[in-house]
Chain A
């Protein structure tokens, strides 16, 4: 009997001990918070948890978002984007465009120093920009045949084969951005990319611990431009001495790290954790424009090579159901047929909205009959490595089954998914989440390599958009092209999604514009 009570007492003691421990801890953290609010002091260090280790920080060689986010602190470009997505000078002072639109003369800022102490001159810019033209698939497709030359130490000239309305936008785009680095670094770089990361940005590269972190330090010699900060443009100031980008693959660890303050910023929060984090004390959740969830059809092989059948599928789809299942909360998605960012006035378009999100099974069944569908197997290719892509695929499978189609899901890990995607005989439909592009020609939905969509009419319309003389004329052509995409159905937009990141409430001046912006940001102790 005595033993029984002893056990009970020990258990109660332990619970009490734990509870006292917690309450003390809470009290202490509240106390320290109040103290810092009244008498602020700032931390010298910022810790950011990102999802994976990037393959390189050479922005020209990669489209990895993590790589570009980190590299954006080390490197700068001639032109960058302000918060309205307009090309804005950064390392250039200004540009003169010739009357025929084939020559761009960039006047460079003087006295800008690289992290190795050397002053930036036109030779460095020419070497960097020509390397970008040669290595970046984006640059090659948009500015094929172009060449940069030095006119004098502070003037660089770009010669184009034919004029185009999107030159500066292409140069300011984040994907594969043309980082300006010293000429010597480029000349000594191996084929797979530079290994010495020297730029002009507000932070310098210090150390890369494989599978642990990348460490950046403040660039004391940084020379900021005078303009107000806006997007990636304007005045930048490093307000912490050390920045650590930790590679934390497990999302529950990233979330736990934000709760304990081990990380100041946690990138890529899964949508299912959005509500949980929104209600937590000391945690701020930031949502920002992510991109489009897009479905691609195999227009070359298999049953869906028949446009009628693609129309039947599209008519049956209920996009709201797919988006809700994939992104969990209505705050995190938007029903909108636009392939381009709906908040970017130049390109947002609702062309094709009549056939978007119909969810009309009866009409779809009729179309299915007209197409002569006879139970042929439809393969949906997907990967569970990206939760939203997989969930959307499962909902689409169910919707198509209700339509009476014979649908199978082929689920692989991401590398295998990429390989299978290139084998056109192994899939009929796949869904991917694609980040926003700045100009229509950059869209994956228009890139023949992506899903085998090599339509001459699309090519002709892309050329017309690029050659258009005014922005309005270009927009009209894009409306026409988006309308055509909804008729031809090589792909269809399912909807727009938002990305999520979380920070502690100790950050001051922090903003998100396409990526977390860590310059001009302080960390309260």
Chain B
């Protein structure tokens, strides 16, 4: 097991290397002068040149890359030109809202998706199944920003039940923290729910038709036990993969939803940094996001073994 984890972690190195070269080149080839953006519309050419020099942007590109990678290996992602703070610090500050939103979004998704998927599979072909699947299709088709704006108008502006925008850290109290996240979590969760529900349904259908389910039923096992304990557990591997992917998407930044609800998360950080041409932050966040995505996939792989002992046996 430890050998497997080690192998997977080592395989990260080439991925991160390729990503680092790609993002460095994209960021530096894209036109747009960070010094000019920082100094503003009316800055003179002399001022821009002076700041370029200070920021080390006049060095040859390979030298800039080498300097950056050397620092990254030493755990230093550089400093933000715009925010005047280390990139690692900026990422950590923006991680809390994103993480909270991802967890809440995933909870919303699972609460909606798993029962819907199970019911649809159990009642296969019925009107309930068909209407649930149509709703989930709609859920996938409606973009999160549209759902977000509609929720904001209805729940925030019209009913005034929840705040329309902003963020309070968890230290200010759990409810203070969560009330700003409910609407964005629903906007995000609804779409993920649609994906997970469809996967749950198809995976459950497959398992419900197998012989061991028939055996369980013929033994007189109670129906809810058949569905939850026998069928769902066996159907869970592909569902887990989708959940892992959807959580990866949520953690790595829900750009549009964070912008609409003004949540200072990773998504906003990357968008703002692109507008500000804050090279160090863009590079740092992309590397970080890659790392998180790969790690989540690794954790999902390891969870396979927890849910299905056969996977563990095969590896041995």
- 1/0 contact string of A187-198 vs chain B (CB within 8 Å): 000011001000
Contacting pair A419 B159 (CB below 8 A) = no
Please, how many angstroms separate the alpha-carbon atoms of A191 and B163 in the complex?
A: 41
Which residues does chain B contribute within 8 Å of A29, judged by CB atoms? Answer: 160
A414-B275, A419-B31 known; A253 and B262 CB under 8 Å?
yes
Contacting pair A416 B31 (CB below 8 A) = yes
A257-B164, A260-B157, A418-B37 known; A191 and B54 CB under 8 Å?
yes
Which residues does chain A contribute within 8 Å of B264, judged by CB atoms? Answer: 209-212
A53-B272, A192-B51, A256-B164 known; A250 and B260 CB under 8 Å?
yes
Nearest-neighbor residue (CB-CB) of B90 within chain A: A210
Please, how many angstroms separate the alpha-carbon atoms of A25 and B159 in the complex?
A: 7
List CB contacts (< 8 Å) of A113-156 with chain B: 137
Please, how many angstroms separate the alpha-carbon atoms of A210 and B276 in the complex?
A: 14
Please, how many angstroms separate the alpha-carbon atoms of A254 and B89 in the complex?
A: 28
Shortest C-beta distance, A62 to chain B (Å), equals: 6
Which residues does chain B contribute within 8 Å of A455, judged by CB atoms? Answer: none
Q: Which of B32, B84, B94, B261 interacts with A415 by CB under 8 Å? A: B32
- A456: interface (CB < 8 Å): no
- A520: interface (CB < 8 Å): no
Shortest C-beta distance, A506 to chain B (Å), equals: 15
A212-B264, A252-B260 known; A420 and B44 CB under 8 Å?
no
- 1/0 contact string of B263-289 vs chain A (CB within 8 Å): 010001100100111000000000000
Shortest C-beta distance, A116 to chain B (Å), equals: 21
- A249: interface (CB < 8 Å): yes
List CB contacts (< 8 Å) of A42-63 with chain B: 53, 55, 61-63
Shortest C-beta distance, B63 to chain A (Å), equals: 22
Q: Which of B31, B40, B158, B275 interacts with A64 by CB under 8 Å? A: B40
- A80: interface (CB < 8 Å): no
- B167: interface (CB < 8 Å): yes
Which residues does chain B contribute within 8 Å of A450, judged by CB atoms? Answer: 42
Contacting pair B262 A449 (CB below 8 A) = no
Please, how many angstroms separate the alpha-carbon atoms of A210 and B82 in the complex?
A: 10
Contacting pair A137 B44 (CB below 8 A) = yes
Contacting pair A256 B259 (CB below 8 A) = no
- A246: interface (CB < 8 Å): yes
Contacting pair B36 A418 (CB below 8 A) = yes
Which residues does chain B contribute within 8 Å of A320, judged by CB atoms? Answer: none
Binds A, one of B102-110, B133-141, B148-156, B222-230: B148-156
Please, how many angstroms separate the alpha-carbon atoms of A196 and B152 in the complex?
A: 38
- B43: interface (CB < 8 Å): yes
- A22: interface (CB < 8 Å): yes
- A41: interface (CB < 8 Å): no
Q: Which of A63, A209, A250 interacts with B42 by CB under 8 Å? A: A63
Please, how many angstroms separate the alpha-carbon atoms of A259 and B155 in the complex?
A: 12
- B83: interface (CB < 8 Å): yes
Shortest C-beta distance, B81 to chain A (Å), equals: 8
- B41: interface (CB < 8 Å): yes
Please, how many angstroms separate the alpha-carbon atoms of A44 and B33 in the complex?
A: 42
Contacting pair A260 B164 (CB below 8 A) = yes
- A335: interface (CB < 8 Å): no
Contacting pair A449 B37 (CB below 8 A) = no
Q: Which of B41, B165, B276 interacts with A63 by CB under 8 Å? A: B41
Contacting pair A250 B262 (CB below 8 A) = yes
Contacting pair A192 B54 (CB below 8 A) = yes
Which residues does chain B contribute within 8 Å of A69, judged by CB atoms? Answer: none
Shortest C-beta distance, B50 to chain A (Å), equals: 8
Nearest-neighbor residue (CB-CB) of A432 within chain B: B41
Please, how many angstroms separate the alpha-carbon atoms of A246 and B264 in the complex?
A: 11
Which residues does chain B contribute within 8 Å of A385, judged by CB atoms? Answer: 275
A211-B272, A415-B37 known; A256 and B153 CB under 8 Å?
yes
Shortest C-beta distance, A198 to chain B (Å), equals: 17
Which residues does chain B contribute within 8 Å of A413, judged by CB atoms? Answer: 32, 275
Contacting pair A250 B32 (CB below 8 A) = no
Which residues does chain B contribute within 8 Å of A418, judged by CB atoms? Answer: 32-33, 36-37, 41
- B38: interface (CB < 8 Å): yes
Contacting pair B272 A415 (CB below 8 A) = no
A210-B85, A212-B264 known; A246 and B166 CB under 8 Å?
yes
Nearest-neighbor residue (CB-CB) of A21 within chain B: B159
- B39: interface (CB < 8 Å): yes
Residue among B160, B167, B268 with most chain A CB within 10 A: B160
Nearest-neighbor residue (CB-CB) of B85 within chain A: A210
Q: Which of A55, A175, A195 interacts with B38 by CB under 8 Å? A: A55
- B45: interface (CB < 8 Å): yes
Which residues does chain A contribute within 8 Å of B39, judged by CB atoms? Answer: 55, 61-63
- A463: interface (CB < 8 Å): no
Which residues does chain A contribute within 8 Å of B34, judged by CB atoms? Answer: 415
Please, how many angstroms separate the alpha-carbon atoms of A121 and B147 in the complex?
A: 57
Which residues does chain B contribute within 8 Å of A464, judged by CB atoms? Answer: none
- A248: interface (CB < 8 Å): yes
Please, how many angstroms separate the alpha-carbon atoms of A432 and B83 in the complex?
A: 27
List CB contacts (< 8 Å) of B9-46 with chain A: 30-34, 36-45
Shortest C-beta distance, A123 to chain B (Å), equals: 27
Contacting pair A449 B44 (CB below 8 A) = yes
Please, how many angstroms separate the alpha-carbon atoms of A53 and B272 in the complex?
A: 9
- B93: interface (CB < 8 Å): yes
Q: Which of B42, B44, B82 interacts with A55 by CB under 8 Å? A: B82
Nearest-neighbor residue (CB-CB) of A211 within chain B: B264
- B70: interface (CB < 8 Å): no
- B47: interface (CB < 8 Å): yes
Shortest C-beta distance, B148 to chain A (Å), equals: 10
Contacting pair A412 B51 (CB below 8 A) = no
Which residues does chain A contribute within 8 Å of B272, judged by CB atoms? Answer: 53, 211, 249
Contacting pair A212 B167 (CB below 8 A) = yes
A256-B153, A416-B31 known; A249 and B259 CB under 8 Å?
yes
Which residues does chain B contribute within 8 Å of A192, judged by CB atoms? Answer: 51, 54, 84
Nearest-neighbor residue (CB-CB) of B55 within chain A: A192
List CB contacts (< 8 Å) of A351-376 with chain B: none
- A444: interface (CB < 8 Å): yes
Contacting pair A250 B160 (CB below 8 A) = no
Which residues does chain B contribute within 8 Å of A415, judged by CB atoms? Answer: 31-34, 36-37, 275-277
Please, how many angstroms separate the alpha-carbon atoms of A359 and B259 in the complex?
A: 41
- 1/0 contact string of A330-368 vs chain B (CB within 8 Å): 000000000000000000000000000000000000000
- B residues apposed to A, CB below 8 Å: 30-34, 36-45, 47, 51, 54, 82-85, 90, 93-94, 149, 152-153, 156-161, 163-167, 259-262, 264, 268-269, 272, 275-277
Return 17 A-B CB contacts under 8 Å, by A number.
Answer: A29-B160, A55-B39, A55-B40, A63-B39, A63-B42, A137-B43, A175-B42, A195-B84, A210-B93, A250-B260, A250-B262, A253-B165, A256-B152, A415-B31, A418-B33, A419-B33, A450-B42
